[in-house]
Amino acid sequence: MSRSFASLVLGVLASTLACSSPEDGGATGDPAALTAGPQTAAAVTAAPPATAAPGTSAPATAGEVAEACGERGQPSCPLQGFMKTKMGPTLQRGDLAALAAVLDLVAANPPDPSYEASEPRWSKISQDGAAAARANDTAGARASCKACHTAHQKRFRAEIRRWALPAGMQ
């Protein structure tokens, strides 16, 4: 399987979060530019057929989208699209209340129970980020994003990149 969707999403989010604030010399462009693209997160989360995904030999599972996604020239994978349309723009706008709400959604929806069984837990990292955002601590919120990417990105990309977002995140 090629690099997983989640890894790409987390990578995009990491790069967006790492350089998106005018205060730290990051990009100051329009947040809509981050979301421009052929497909939104909601568009790529439809229930997949139980057939092999294009370009792969592994069948898509009920929790994955069937389309190839996340690589250059492909549509965003579901979590990647969510990060581009929800997470990144709230941080770029400096809307920490909205960022906290998005991080709460992420905390409530780990992609697989095993992400809660290993340390650092998916939900704990997101909850820490939400708490930092509520405390107007942009650096702390960004640190939680980086912590999640460091802990989970490689595995997510390798195993469940095309994970379909749960209804609460669409």
Residues 138-150: tens digit of each pLDDT: 999 999 999 999 9
pLDDT of residue 63: 61
Q: Which residue has the higher pLDDT, 65 or 126?
A: 126
The number of domains in the chain is 1
Q: Which two tokens stand for residue 54?
A: 């294009």
> What is the spatial distance between Cα 84 and Cα 35, in angstroms, rounded to a whole number?
6
pLDDT of 34 strictly over 60:
no
pLDDT of residue 9: 41
Reported confidence tier of residue 65, pLDDT bands at 50, 70, 90: low
Please give the average per-residue pLDDT across 16-44, as a whole number: 36
Q: Which residue has the higher pLDDT, 99 or 64?
A: 99
Residue 79, helix vs strand vs coil: helix
> What is the spatial distance between Cα 159 and Cα 25, in angstroms, rounded to a whole number?
35
In terms of Cβ atoms closer than 10 Å to its own Cβ (0-12, 13-18, 19+), residue 69 is buried
- Boundaries of domain holding 111: 5-169
